[in-house]
Amino acid sequence: MGKLNIIKLEYHFFYFKKLTGWNIAGLVGYVVFSLIGYCYRSLLTPDELPQFLLGDILFMQGLLYILGYKALRNMTFFFYWCAIGLMQLLIYFLLKDNLALKVGHLSAVIAFRNTIPLLLIFQLLRFLYFKLQGRELVMLSKLGQKDMYDNRESDFFDVVSCIIYFGAMIFLLKL
């Protein structure tokens, strides 16, 4: 009888890889969009500026999960976003008491303090999912459609993870 060769692939949950062109485009695109918004803030009315700031950061935090879930597995990309999160935290501390940046009872920059906690929540959800399921977390897809990266349908735990992440986005605004 022939010998059966078993190939065992070792999976590294935390890994560092060179950034792809799309990773760099996403990072640079967000920074450029934010800088353009800052430079042209004078075009916004005093009522529009706080809404722009709050919308900008919440949109970015949502897109990180929706479009960046695969890239955030790469710790290089993850740490670049942590660096952006630190800059946002600095902006938060500089502007949090500015009365001109109020949206209702909230400061428009309140979400700027939440990027790092959301990145950590994402990694925690990813880790728990991997421990429970033995595979990576994927983004929700339409019924019957497969994830574009991992070629599998999303399951119950993917749904729960998505709800937890977006629930945390809202919850952190209330703190």
**Cα(167)–Cα(95) distance, rounded to whole angstroms?**
25
Domain span at residue 113? 21-174
Can you spell out the DSSP letters for 24-74?
Answer: HHHHHHHHHHHHHHHHTGGGS-TTHHHHHHHHHHHHHHHHHHHTTTTGGGB
**Cα(25)–Cα(5) distance, rounded to whole angstroms?**
42
Q: Is there a domain that residue 11 lies in?
A: no
Q: What is the pLDDT of residues 60-116, one digit of tens each?
A: 999 999 888 899 999 999 999 999 999 999 999 998 998 888 888 888 899 999 999
The count of domains in the chain is 1
In the chain, % of residues over pLDDT 70: 90
Q: What is the pLDDT of residues 154-164, one digit of tens each?
A: 888 888 999 99
Q: Is there a domain that residue 4 lies in?
A: no
pTM confidence score: 0.86
Residue type, 159: V
Closest CA relative to residue 165, chosen from 142, 138, 144, 146: 138
Q: Is there a domain that residue 65 lies in?
A: yes
